[in-house]
Amino acid sequence: MLSPRFLVLAAALCVSAQYPPPPALKAAQESANNTLNIPTESTLTDTTTIVDTARVVNQTGGAPTDDTPPGQPQASTIVTALDGVIVLSNISDSNSIDVPHGAGRRDLSDYELVFDGTPNDAAIIGTAYLTYTLVSNSSREQGTAECLDFCTKTDGCVFCNLYYELNNPFLDFVFPQKSNLKCVLYGDVHTAEEKTDYWNLQLIAQPNETTSISIQYSSGYASLATTERAPPEGYELVFGPISAANNALGYMGFAFLDKYDVSACAQLCNLRGPDPAAGACKYFNIWRAVVHGKPKTYTCAMYSAPLDASTATNTGQGPLSVSLSRGYRRISHIADGGFEDYTCQNDASFCFDDKAPGWVGTASVGGQDDATVFHYQPYAHSGASVGLLGCAFGRDPYAGTLTPAVSGKLLHGRKYVVQFFHSSTYSGEELEVSSFVDVYWNGEVAGSVRVGYSPWTYYEFIVEATGGGNDTLALRGGKAPAYDFIDDVYLFLHK
């Protein structure tokens, strides 16, 4: 690390009168608005809108009574609301990950009887409906065993509603099972208070003729199995489950899902457009909203900042309570993309070097200090440290290269996305015209930034991994007095 005295002497010798003082001199930038400025009120979690939308959304459902045959694959997860607007939109290729631990046939000891049935009864109308089947009605015991086994083998099933459905011609005459004992699966546990589908349904049996469906002995069973919640690809579990949701800065928006589907929430985070000031979605918080003791919806809140449980302070409002709250962080393969592990000795506020934890700066032939890492908050996009391309002393016009350590073995043939913020305002519009950054992936140019004078702006470039721990990333640029600042560098698995 270079001494402050040496920095001042070197800068004084190398700075030309027509150029501004170089970054090594701890000079003020041409732009006074170079640092990140996010209005705190507008980026906090919009809890009010989430709660208000939960009051009006209706996600309840049950097994169909029409000609829909039993044993259908469960439908893709549906977005029922997005940022406060009620919608109905499928999320393709998403699967609930609430998979019971273990496999094979189960019996009553593996499930808890939540409620029993009565002669005149009703079926559950609740959230997170998955699918249904018809089981043997030769005996209730046999039908129950088949139903629980069906739940065990169905991804996401934690609850089944078993009941007799009488006078339904599709069950009696059309479907090959010829059984009226219906087994309905859900991805959430429900109670007897949610038995609201009574036996007054009308079906057309013949032209000009209707029949009334009746429901008897509707019972509910909840799985006692410990569930495995494997993180979605490209994410890691940060906390949960707890009974509090995040209330934090970096909030980007929310979606309601028709079932607790972590993979679907991850897809929404991946597809969310970047925030101009804070970048892409890097974290999501999924939680269940319970209103008056009944599951109401499943919230997927997205953030541009990688959060943790310290900001999970929202336990609910009024009759709405938070449960099953989990936080997932997007895995970056750049260990310290924000350069924040680089600090000054003795807690000084200004220092720089061509080496920092996880980063190496390389000068061009004939150049020196062409790629450095600074600890100085006024230069940074966020935090207090930042990367600089271009001679820190301003004494040569050569480009420098910042190379991060790529952590973990990337997956062969998979796409990844390089993300970072770039600023080139230091020397003013006229002198920054030749600023540039080239993004090198495995030795080849994957993209370039050539915008001249520009405040902090978000960029991303798609690359393909070779795998085996051999992938490399490098950022080359700068041409003093045209300086290029780089901050908040991430390498994520692409959506």
Does any domain span residue 61? Answer: no
Does any domain span residue 134? Answer: yes
Q: Residue 102: pLDDT band by 50, 70, 90 thresholds?
A: very low
pLDDT at site 420: 98
Does any domain span residue 313? Answer: yes
pLDDT at site 221: 97
Residue 492 has pLDDT above 50, yes or no: yes
Q: Return the structure tokens found at 470.
A: 């051999």
Are both 374 and 480 inside the same structural domain? yes
Are both 462 and 418 inside the same structural domain? yes
pLDDT at site 33: 47
Are both 260 and 396 inside the same structural domain? no
Alpha helices in 174-245 (DSSP H): none
Average pLDDT of every residue of the chain: 89
Does any domain span residue 304? Answer: yes
Spatial distance between the Cα atoms of 46 and 432, rounded to a whole number of angstroms: 39
Q: Residue 199: pLDDT band by 50, 70, 90 thresholds?
A: low
Mean pLDDT of 440-469: 97
Where residue 458 sits, what CATH number does that domain have?
2.60.120.260
Q: Residue 98: pLDDT band by 50, 70, 90 thresholds?
A: very low
Spatial distance between the Cα atoms of 368 and 14, rounded to a whole number of angstroms: 12
Number of domains composing the chain: 3
Does any domain span residue 92? Answer: no
Are both 138 and 259 inside the same structural domain? no
pLDDT at site 91: 74
Range(s) of the domain holding residue 274: 41-56+230-330
Q: Is the separation of the CB atoms in 438 and 410 below 8 Å?
A: no
Residue 320 has pLDDT above 90, yes or no: yes
Are both 341 and 489 inside the same structural domain? yes
Going through 71-191 in order, the beta strands assigned E by DSSP cover 78-82, 85-90, 99-100, 111-115, 123-124, 129-135, 159-166, 181-186
Q: Could you give the angle at the alpha carbon of 470 between the alpha carbons of 469 and 473, nearest 5°?
A: 110
Last residue of a domain, one of 330, 350, 366: 330
pLDDT at site 468: 87
Residue 324 has pLDDT above 60, yes or no: yes
Are both 205 and 245 inside the same structural domain? no
> To the nearest whole percent, how much of the chain has pLDDT over 90?
78
Can you say whether residue 324 is alpha, beta or left, with left for phi > 0 and alpha for psi between -120 and 50 degrees? left
CA atoms within 13 A on the CB side of 67: 4
Of 113 and 228, the one with more pLDDT: 113
pLDDT at site 314: 97
Mean pLDDT of 441-465: 97
pLDDT at site 29: 58
pLDDT at site 209: 57
Are both 117 and 197 inside the same structural domain? yes
Are both 123 and 159 inside the same structural domain? yes
Mean pLDDT of 165-169: 91
Does any domain span residue 397? Answer: yes
Are both 367 and 487 inside the same structural domain? yes
Q: Is the separation of the CB atoms in 272 and 252 below 8 Å?
A: yes
SS3 of 76, please? Answer: coil
Lowest mean pLDDT among 32-36, 358-362, 480-484: 32-36
pLDDT tens digits for range 436-447:
999 999 999 999
Mean pLDDT of 431-458: 97
pLDDT at site 200: 52
Residue 396 has pLDDT above 90, yes or no: yes
pLDDT tens digits for range 204-217:
445 555 668 899 99
pLDDT at site 208: 53
pLDDT at site 13: 44
Residue 201 has pLDDT above 70, yes or no: no
Does any domain span residue 202? Answer: yes
pLDDT tens digits for range 335-352:
999 999 999 999 999 999
Mean pLDDT of 11-35: 63
Last residue of a domain, one of 156, 190, 223: 223
Of 326 and 75, the one with more pLDDT: 326
Ranked by mean pLDDT, the top range of 17-21, 193-197, 356-360 is 356-360
Are both 373 and 360 inside the same structural domain? yes
Length of the chain: 495
pLDDT at site 20: 86
pLDDT tens digits for range 26-70:
875 554 444 544 444 458 999 999 999 999 999 999 998 888 999
Does any domain span residue 341? Answer: yes
Q: Residue 12: pLDDT band by 50, 70, 90 thresholds?
A: very low
Are both 463 and 394 inside the same structural domain? yes
Residue 95 has pLDDT above 70, yes or no: no
pLDDT tens digits for range 233-285:
999 999 999 999 999 999 999 999 999 999 999 999 999 999 999 999 999 99
Are both 150 and 106 inside the same structural domain? yes
Last residue of a domain, one of 271, 297, 330: 330
Spatial distance between the Cα atoms of 164 and 182, rounded to a whole number of angstroms: 6
